Chains A and B, each alone.
Chain A
């Protein structure tokens, strides 16, 4: 297992940051995010906390370094180049914190990446206790990000969630056999796992930087134009990224066959 930890600060109030979190896609740094859906959302009547589960569909490539380690046919051409990310968040508006967790749902045997963040309103010294929402131009919000990487490569759970839906192909056989043979014989399982975890780790440094840049753009738009400003910015981002038709045409073009794209033109 490998860990990554990062602590940073947004120069915005907690309400703004938490709003931006829900509003962060699309932004110019999120072109790889194709769709976002809310799976579940409720306020816990006991605590007043808002619980949200979202499903993101992202464009993703298996990193070349990992691809080299995989048996032929896994992670290569049979992969759709898209992956599902499950994101859960809990917001406590009164206490001024939000906790998020994102994890990949497929390929978890090769590499499971779990990103956890805790956003916390910064209490400035000498200030009164009245931190009302939305105002507070000089408030700040601290974020602690922890990412855990775990590979169980070679432990017979290679495909994780992917196995049910997409492995009625010859590659499913390779899943169990390949790690024991050939090239793999020369590497210890632990060594391969470590390599995969490190590749994931290196990728994450960049991803976290981009994601913060994206959040800051959304926050800037919020500050200048409110929610309307954010939505207008999004519309432009979406057109820039996918054209006026929006991203779903692409999703369906490359998606599984049963929903062939219908041309309404």
Chain B
């Protein structure tokens, strides 16, 4: 499994990833789109990750990226 940017989150990330892959291949891809059995693990993983994203200043970069993506797309994908 791919490593997390936050070493301390690797353990929970691996649990979440495993859960997701199982859900995705056994349920989602077979048409059962409503279940969300990995939600709890995802929350824990995100709680762990969020802290690190904030500390490293990545969170604000993510926000900036989303904002500027929108602006760029609006500017350059507009009909001519």
Contacts and interface: CB of A to CB of B under 8 A. Distances in A.
Interface string B1-44: 11111110110010010001110110011110110100000100
Task: Output the residue of B6, B25, B57 with the most chain A CB within 10 A.
Answer: B25
A18 interface: yes
A18 B24 CA distance: 10
Contacts of B49: 37, 39
A234 interface: yes
Interface residues of B, number: 39
Contacts of B69: 103
Given A15-B25, A36-B2, A94-B31, A248 B65 contact: no
A19 B25 contact: yes
A178 interface: no
Interface string A34-52: 1111110101010010100
Contacts of B64: 161, 164
Interface stretch (A20-28, A61-69, A208-216): A20-28
Interface stretch (A179-187, A191-199, A250-258): A250-258
Interface in B44-70: 45, 49, 55-58, 60-62, 64-65, 68-69
Interface of B: 1-7, 9-10, 13, 16, 20-22, 24-25, 28-31, 33-34, 36, 42, 45, 49, 55-58, 60-62, 64-65, 68-69, 72, 76
B33 to A, nearest CB: 4
Interface residues on A, range: 35 or more
Contact of B61 (A1, A164, A258): A164
Nearest to B25: A19
Contact of B1 (A41, A108, A160, A234): A234
A111 interface: no
Main secondary structure of the interface of A (DSSP, over half): mixed
Contacts of A160: 68
B1 A93 contact: no
A190 interface: no
Given A93-B31, A165-B61, A246-B10, A227 B21 contact: yes
A7 interface: no
A135 B72 CA distance: 41
Contacts of B2: 25-26, 33, 35-36, 234
B10 A251 contact: no
B29 A93 contact: yes
Contact of B5 (A37, A48, A103): A37
Interface string A131-150: 01110000000000000001
Given A234-B1, A256-B56, A50 B33 contact: yes
A29 interface: no
B7 A105 contact: no
A174 interface: no
Contacts of B72: 112
A247 interface: yes
A201 interface: no
